[in-house]
Structure formats: C-alpha cells, structure tokens
Amino acid sequence: MKLLQVGPCLICLILLGPLVSSGQCELIKRDIENVRSTAVEVLQLSDTLEVFVSAVGRTKQYRTARSNTRKAQIYSGEILAAAYRAVATVAEARQRAETCGAADVERHLSHAAGSAEKVRDLADQAFGYAKRAYASRSLAGMQTYLKKALTTIREAEVAASAAAFAASEAHFSTSPEVLVAAGKGP
C-alpha cells in the first residue's frame, strides 16, 4: 500500500528533475557574472587602498597618518569581504556547471576558483598588515606595515585579474548551444 503512495512522488521527481536542472543551468551565467564583477570590485577597492597608503607614505604628521591608516584598514577589510564573496560564488557556479554537465565551463570556473582563493588568502594577509599598521604607535611602523599590505594587495590584484579573465572565459563557454549539447539547456 505504501509503495503505491511513493510511486506518484517518485514519478514527479523523475519528470521534474530535468526542469530543475535546466533552471540551474540558466543561473550559471548570473553566478559567473557575479564572480567577474566581484573580482573587478577587488581591483577597484585596491586602487582606493593605494591612495590612502601613498598618503601615509608622504605625510610627516602622526595624526594624519593614523587617520589614513584607519581608512586603509577599512578598505583592506572590504577587499577581504569581496574575496570571500568571490570564493563562495565561484563554488556555487562550479556546482551548477557540474550539475549541467558543462565541462568547459567547469574547467574555466576551476581556474577562477583557484585565483579567487589566492585573492582571499592574500587579502587576509594584507588585512593583518593593515591592522598592525593601525595598532602601531609610530609613523615609521605604520608606513612599514602599510607598504607590506600594499605589496600583498598588488599580488592579489594579479590573482583578481586572473579570476575575472577565467570568469569571462566561462561566460563565453555558456552559450545555449553548449548547454543544449550537454543536454541541460533550453
């Protein structure tokens, strides 16, 4: 008797499975665009961070340097938050690509994931330097730690550019023809 009750539910799941999978495939492009835009956001924030770091490097007044160091710390924290968002979004996009059977997209997203993780790790390191700079009680200490933070962020910029490029490649690999060939498209 219970077997008869389970039967219709099982049939519904089998029939609705391709529709759910197709919906997942349509969301890949949105996720990929989110990865790319987050990587670009990291690049923009790092430009702003550089402005405050260079201001600290030029100043001779402790109060001004401390104020700019605090702003640099805030921007490095925003870079770190964006990097964490990129890692989470690319993981979700990879899962959707795997569900859709889009191997080429998944390959590009794998490269984007590696780059996003590198950005996150470097941003975490830079944020640590920025915190130490703000905690420093000397102008020279602030300048030294902020130079280290900036150097680390410049490395993160390279990785962010690589993540944005890989996401763009993944986006171009998500044409309807590719998704239909994988059996999951419209």
Over the stretch 36-52, which tens digit does the pLDDT of each residue have? 999 999 999 999 999 99
> And the tokens for 59?
């100043």
Angle between helix 103-135 and helix 62-100 axes, rounded to 10 deg: 160
Residue 124 lies in a domain: yes
Residue 141 lies in a domain: yes
* pLDDT tens across the length of the chain (186 residues): 454 555 554 444 444 444 344 566 778 888 888 989 999 999 999 999 999 999 999 999 999 999 999 999 999 999 999 999 999 999 999 988 888 888 888 899 999 999 999 999 999 999 999 999 999 999 999 999 999 999 999 999 999 999 999 998 988 887 655 444 444 444
pTM above 0.85, yes or no: no
Residue 22 lies in a domain: no
Q: Compute the residue count for the chain.
A: 186
The rounded distance, in Å, linking the Cα atoms of 185 and 166 is 22
Residue 15 lies in a domain: no
138-164 pLDDT, tens digit per residue, is 999 999 999 999 999 999 999 999 999
Question: What number of other Cβ atoms are within 10 A of residue 33's Cβ?
Answer: 16
Residue 150 lies in a domain: yes
Q: Which residues contact 159 (CB under 8 A, 6 or more apart)?
A: 115, 116, 118, 119, 122
Report residue 136: phi and psi, to 5°: -65, 145
Number of domains in the chain: 1
Residue 14 lies in a domain: no
Residue 133 lies in a domain: yes
Residue 11 lies in a domain: no
- Using alpha carbons, select from 168, 164, 149 the residue that is nearest to residue 82: 164
- Using alpha carbons, select from 115, 108, 132, 94 the residue that is nearest to residue 43: 115
Parent domain of 126: 27-181
> And the tokens for 134?
């703000």
